[in-house]
Structure 1
Amino acid sequence: MIRITHDDFDINAMISAARTSKMGALVTFIGTVRDDGMDMLQFEVYEEVAISELETIRDEAFEKFEIESVDVIHRTGDLPVGENILLIIVGAGHRKHAFDACEYVLERIKESVPIWKKEIGGSGDRWIPGEAYNS
């Protein structure tokens, strides 16, 4: 599943839906809004292009790694501290393939998906240049 949404997601339900008997590993990445002295993050997206690019990234992961599934959900809108932003779930027969593919998907999202992030509050509002996720 590839999805862009304003709504929060149920992590446990998504993991349960991704699980199959062929998987020895499910690796998840959950991006959340951390407290950096701001009130919230605002995410804007060019949805049609973002979905297409996420599908391309998923397809690349299948080509590069021995995996069974890739699911990505990204939220948009105003997200206060503590809220979920991004969920990536990768299933594979073996953990190394799942870990490597999950990292690949995350890095590719940062490079090429048209999602923009703005910090709101604290000492003012500011767009974060470059990638949508800064560690």
Structure 2
Amino acid sequence: MDKVRTPKNIFVQGAISPEKIASSIANHSTKTEIGGHSIFLGQVRADQKEKGEVVAIEYTAYEEMALQKAFEIREAVFAKYPLTCMHIYHSLGEVKVGELCLFVFTSSKHRKAAIEACSELVERIKAELPVWGKEILDSEEHVWKKNR
């Protein structure tokens, strides 16, 4: 009987801590069939805007829809690549400049699948997930962020 996969909560309140990333990596040391990992870390930049410099981003989401969409993306990427593991974490709430807001981690027997899957996941998350970022500027203005 096949195991039924259900949507996992990918959201983290605030910044993603380096400890969470380290712990996730360490948890895979017992999975000896893995030969390669690929990791993407998205960090908030101090972009200069017309009305000031970005000091933080406030992330919001239509959570139920976002979790379903993340599940669909995960399933499609699992079907396309021979992965052992896949983890996605995205921040909600305020994340300051220099802090991490996205953590995508893929593992497989061989590096190529892990690297390609990780890259595809990041692109699809940015393009398809109903998550929005409002840039908070040092001038106290707020500007909706455009994903690139």
Q: Distance in 2 between matches of 1:45 and 1:17?
A: 28
1:2–1:71 CA contact under 8 A, matched in 2: no
Q: Please list every run of 5 or more consecutive structure 2 residues that lacks an aligned counterpart in the other structure.
A: 1-7, 48-52
Secondary structure of the equivalent of 1:35? coil
Question: What percentage of residue pairs aligned between the two structures are identical?
Answer: 30
Counterpart of 1:32, as a letter, is Q
Structure 1 residue ranges (4+ consecutive) displaced by more than 3 angstroms after TM superposition: none
- The match for 1:31 among 30, 42, 56 is 42
Partner residue of 1:81? 97
Residue of structure 2 in register with 1:90 after alignment: 106
Q: Distance in 1 between matches of 2:26 and 2:103?
A: 13
Matched, 1:126 2:137: no
Pair 1:17-2:35 in alignment: no
So what's the TM-score if we normalise by structure 2?
0.82
Q: Which has the larger radius of gyration?
A: 2
* 1:14 Cα offset (Å): 1.3
3-state SS, counterpart of residue 98 of structure 2: coil
Query: How many residues align structurally?
Result: 131
Residue segments in structure 1 that go unaligned for 5+ positions in a row: none
Shift of 1:17: 2.4
SS of structure 2 residue aligned to 1:76:
strand
How does the TM-score come out when normalised to structure 1? Answer: 0.89
Pick closer, same or farther for the CA change 1:88–1:39 going to 2, 3 Å. Answer: same
Specify the code of the residue in structure 1 equivalent to 2:10.
Answer: R
